[in-house]
Amino acid sequence: MLQNQGPDGSILYPDLIHQDTTTGLVVPNSESRMLLCGGEVVDIPPDHFIHPGTGHVLPIQGNVAYDPTTSRLIVTVDSTGESLRTDERLLPFIPFPTNPESGLPVESPVTQTEHSGDIKLHAPIQDPQTGLQCPILAITIHPQSGVAYPVAGTQTDPVTGLPVPIEVGSVMIDPDSEQPVVIVDLTIDPDSGEVLPLGGMVQPTSQDNTAFFPMVPGEKFTEPMSGKKAPIRGAMLVNNDVLPCSGGEQAVLDAVEIALEQKVRESLRLYLETVTGESIAE
């Protein structure tokens, strides 16, 4: 495990990693490489970060969320349950796409809200292209201005052919298989800047099963970087391929529940030891 920062918050390995000034995340330098679970050493793709607790290299989308109460980003995967200090719903964070050739942010129709407090999960916002009211499903931060933009949009309804708001749980047509699938997430197209729904087919988790199945939240998939099975809690777009991910708000809530259960058990243990005068093993 790579310890990212010293006690004073300084980066310990500036030749390998640095802190992004816009998001506050610790990210790998462009020349850094990573070791996969299979032993292969590869270049680190863009939009990855270093987990502050485990030191693992992970994709930002699907593993980082925005806390509207504190206006900061928190890591949702491998959480200890101690980082959640809000009554508001967390918003999935989407990195603002940049042109790989110019390094400049792409033009996108996402619009800024009048008040930052209006950015809340499922709050309505007008789609600038269709005028429809759409639910906010994520947030992004412009890498140059640092302005936070809510992410919402529309898609073409597979039944009526009319534009409808993108909503998690609705149906879309998978462009690869041309089959109806459930929308599990959304993203900003790295080429056009358009807001796109995400859904698709998942590769089998075992070699004995060759049939692909639609992504459904809660179903298990094999996480490609760790090789471990994990529940689907979202999706991300990687080189035009839609891949499932296991981070998100539910992962933090599960960690919070486990942390609270541990505190209750410890309190009960101390109470019983006080009453009985005997030491009770955990």
Residue of 238 and 194 predicted with greater confidence = 194
Do residues 46 and 124 both lie within one domain? no
Residue 242 forms part of a structural domain? yes
Do residues 162 and 197 both lie within one domain? yes
CB half-sphere exposure, 184, CA atoms < 13 A? 29
> In this structure, are residues 205 and 211 in contact, taking their beta carbons and an 8 Å threshold?
no
Residue 175 forms part of a structural domain? yes
Lowest-pLDDT range, 102-116, 197-211, 231-245, 252-266?
197-211
Do residues 41 and 173 both lie within one domain? no
> In this structure, are residues 198 and 184 in contact, taking their beta carbons and an 8 Å threshold?
yes
Give 281's pLDDT tier (boundaries 50, 70, 90): low
CA distance linking residue 130 with residue 142, whole number of Å: 23
CA of 227: how far to CAs of 75, 191, 239, 241, in Å? 20, 30, 20, 18
For residue 21, give the amino acid letter.
Answer: T
Domain finish residue from 10, 30, 58: 58
Do residues 200 and 78 both lie within one domain? yes
Do residues 240 and 132 both lie within one domain? yes
Do residues 48 and 149 both lie within one domain? no
Domain finish residue from 10, 29, 58: 58
Do residues 254 and 140 both lie within one domain? yes
The encoded tokens of residue 269 equal: 């243990």
CA distance linking residue 11 with residue 247, whole number of Å: 25
Q: Per residue in 1-40, pLDDT tens? A: 455 655 545 566 677 888 888 898 999 888 888 877 777 7
Do residues 95 and 125 both lie within one domain? yes
Q: Which domain holds residue 48?
A: 1-58
Do residues 69 and 45 both lie within one domain? no
Do residues 138 and 176 both lie within one domain? yes
Residue 143 forms part of a structural domain? yes
Do residues 78 and 147 both lie within one domain? yes
Do residues 74 and 210 both lie within one domain? yes
Residue 282 forms part of a structural domain? no
CA distance linking residue 220 with residue 193, whole number of Å: 30
DSSP 149-213: EEE--EEE-TTT-SEEE--TTSEEE-TTT--EEE--EEEE-TTT--EEEE--EE--SSTT----E
Q: How many domains does the chain have?
A: 2
